[in-house]
Amino acid sequence: MTKQIKPPVWLFTFVRIVIGWHFLYEGLVKLFIPGWTAAPFLLESTWIFSGIFKALASNPEMLMVVNFINVWGLILIGLGLFVGLFTRISAISGAALLFLYFVAQPPFIGLILNGNVEGNYIWVNKNLIEIITLILLFKLPRKWLFSFDNLLIEWKKKKKSGKKSGAIEVPKNDNPEFSDLPALDRRRVIKNLISVPILGGFSYAVLKNFGYESYEEKSLKIDGITSASVKSRNFAGLSELKEKAPKGKIGNLEISRIICGGNLIAGFAHSRDLIYVSQLLKTYFTNEKIWETFRLCEATGINTAIVRTASDTIKVMNRYWKLGGNIQWLAQTYPKDDDVISNPQWAIDSGASAVYIQGNIADRWLSAGRLDLFEKWISHFHGKGVPVGIGAHELDVVKAMEENGFPVEFYMKTLHPHNYWSYQSDEPKPNVIANRQDNYWSRTPEDTIAYMNSVNKPWIAFKVLAAGALKPKEGFKYAFENGADFACVGMFDYQVVEDVNILTDTLKNLTGRERKFF
């Protein structure tokens, strides 16, 4: 008689427990992290169903449903697989959920962001591998796995037959050990409950990871599974967005009242004497993180970003647009004394929706008395289809443009109060090229407010938070109540929703604004 091959029950059970661990942990991570949302993942969708996924992310009610299904679907599926309860239902449900993840962001050539996302191997990624494994678990006979399901079936069978535990049964085939319902003895009970002590260890690890931590551990914790997200406070997710950012116009260009600043992306952090911050920003803002931030901005109504004109940033912008993004690029340009055309023209040719002269350059030109350079730059680009503007830290730049009647279409001018911790009233006027001292960012806010009241052109205020020294509520209120039409703010991805909520609340409760909105 042919000898029956003994299936690797322990191995199959171990595989089921490991996958259950993965699902359960992913669900609990999302449950424990305040403000977690599936929106960034949905907004990154790039395949033929991307429109559906992005629509779900943009609808607050539907997003709440998606978040709920993700969190509790992962937890329940993971728990079922972990202990072997309703194993087949858990396995096929897990495969279906992972299939949705796979379809939303398939690892196909030309669709993945850079072709090197962790877990993607041209056509195959870990989602697909786990899907196939779950289908295998779904198809396996129950007797090939130690599980609660086996115990329930045996208990029901014995209850129905009225037999007591331990009664001798006639084997159904020549291999009693693998008959469908073998005798329920102590050894088999222990084997089928093998996941219980493992679940206890898992529970302890999760509680240690999320519950029993010191204040410092909680504040400094970074969870590498769900991407680097500082947990020192609760950050708002898209589900908490009150309403989208309102918009205004510069020429015919519709622009959100809050604009995503580019200094964080470029790594130019005005961090005072903390010289390492710029490198940290460059490390944090990978291309993928920049795109994720832009997608969050668009979902909240922020439709414009101010980014410098350079080869690396142009590549980032163009790739983002190819991936389906629509954020407008207001280009910070760097015209040279002997060539005022090339850099701004490069920006326009690369897709910029508006251009302006970077503030340091405008400050320096005016200090050197080079009004001819302003006139040459403006006369070349004015009327060519994109709004042209002038950036400035010094109010004298704006005054010179107005007094000479240059057809500037908008201004980028700094504005913030001086009530921040590092302000020094006796700080000397620095060289405009150095741009190191705090006061240089907005040296004369009262004079700026008074003069801009008479300027009938859109005004984008920047450095409104004094390079991070002021809270958004304070900086936004000061800027918009004192005449700014737009505010350019550097934002991490986890700050976007909160900043938009602060903006909309601020605009609804303005008091004492004298200058009309442009």
- pLDDT tens digits, 171-193: 444 444 444 444 455 555 555 55
β-bridge partners, 460: 412, 486
Residue 162: left (phi > 0), alpha (psi -120 to 50), or beta?
Answer: left
Q: Do 204 and 311 share a structural domain? A: no
Q: What is the pLDDT of residue 145?
A: 72
Q: Do 260 and 200 share a structural domain? A: no
Spatial distance between the Cα atoms of 503 and 393, rounded to a whole number of angstroms: 23
**Any domain includes 391:** yes
Q: Percentage of the chain with pLDDT > 70? A: 74
**Any domain includes 60:** yes
- Single-letter code of the amino acid located at 244: K
Decide if pLDDT at 357 tops 50: yes
Q: What is the pLDDT of residue 109?
A: 58
Residue 174 CB partners (closer than 8 Å, separation 6+)? 1, 4
Q: Do 459 and 324 share a structural domain? A: yes
Q: Do 353 and 273 share a structural domain? A: yes
- Greater confidence, 223 or 485? 485
Spatial distance between the Cα atoms of 504 and 158, rounded to a whole number of angstroms: 65
Q: Do 286 and 204 share a structural domain? A: no
Q: Do 262 and 132 share a structural domain? A: no
Q: Do 306 and 198 share a structural domain? A: no
**Any domain includes 4:** no
Decide if pLDDT at 354 tops 80: yes
Average pLDDT of the segment spanning 124-149:
82
**Any domain includes 151:** no
* Residue 339 DSSP one-character state: B
Decide if pLDDT at 14 tops 50: yes
Decide if pLDDT at 487 tops 90: yes
Q: What is the pLDDT of residue 459?
A: 96
Q: Do 462 and 316 share a structural domain? A: yes
- Greater confidence, 197 or 486? 486
Spatial distance between the Cα atoms of 394 and 414, rounded to a whole number of angstroms: 8
b/e per residue, 299-327, with b = 16+ CB within 10 A? bbbbbbbbbbbeeebbebbeebeebebeb
Q: What is the pLDDT of residue 364?
A: 93
Q: What is the pLDDT of residue 470?
A: 87
Q: Which of 334, 289, 296 is nearest to 316 (CA)?
A: 289
Decide if pLDDT at 226 tops 60: no
Domain boundary among 158, 177, 210: 210
Q: 360-369, 404-413, 426-435: lowest mean pLDDT where?
A: 426-435
**260: confidence class by pLDDT, cuts 50, 70, 90:** very high
**Any domain includes 396:** yes
Q: What is the pLDDT of residue 350?
A: 94
**214: confidence class by pLDDT, cuts 50, 70, 90:** very low
Average pLDDT of the segment spanning 252-256:
94
Decide if pLDDT at 337 tops 50: yes
Decide if pLDDT at 490 tops 70: yes
Decide if pLDDT at 434 tops 70: no
Query: What are 389-407's pLDDT values in tens digits?
Result: 999 999 999 999 999 999 9
Decide if pLDDT at 301 tops 90: yes
Q: Which of 24, 27, 20 is nearest to 145 (CA)?
A: 20
**380: confidence class by pLDDT, cuts 50, 70, 90:** very high
User: What does the block give as tokens for 297?
Assistant: 């901005």
**Any domain includes 158:** no
Residue 419 CB partners (closer than 8 Å, separation 6+)? 470
Q: 51-55, 313-317, 384-388: lowest mean pLDDT where?
A: 51-55
Q: What is the pLDDT of residue 225?
A: 33
Average pLDDT of the segment spanning 454-475:
91
Q: Which of 320, 363, 360, 355 is nearest to 460 (CA)?
A: 355
Q: Do 357 and 257 share a structural domain? A: yes
**Any domain includes 349:** yes
Average pLDDT of the segment spanning 305-313:
91
**Any domain includes 164:** no
Most confident option among 8-22, 161-175, 288-302: 288-302
Spatial distance between the Cα atoms of 86 and 147, rounded to a whole number of angstroms: 9
Average pLDDT of the segment spanning 467-486:
92
Q: Do 205 and 268 share a structural domain? A: no
Q: Do 360 and 297 share a structural domain? A: yes
CATH number of 304's domain: 3.20.20.100
Average pLDDT of the segment spanning 154-165:
62
- Greater confidence, 364 or 431? 364
Q: Do 273 and 391 share a structural domain? A: yes
Average pLDDT of the segment spanning 64-73:
91
> How many structural domains does the chain have?
2
The residue segments making up the domain with residue 13 are 9-146+194-210
β-bridge partners, 121: 124
Residue 346: left (phi > 0), alpha (psi -120 to 50), or beta?
Answer: alpha
pTM, entire model: 0.61
Q: Which of 128, 129, 88, 94 is nearest to 23 (CA)?
A: 94
Answer whether 360's CB lies under 8 Å from 335's CB.
no
Q: 87-101, 211-225, 360-374, 456-470: lowest mean pLDDT where?
A: 211-225
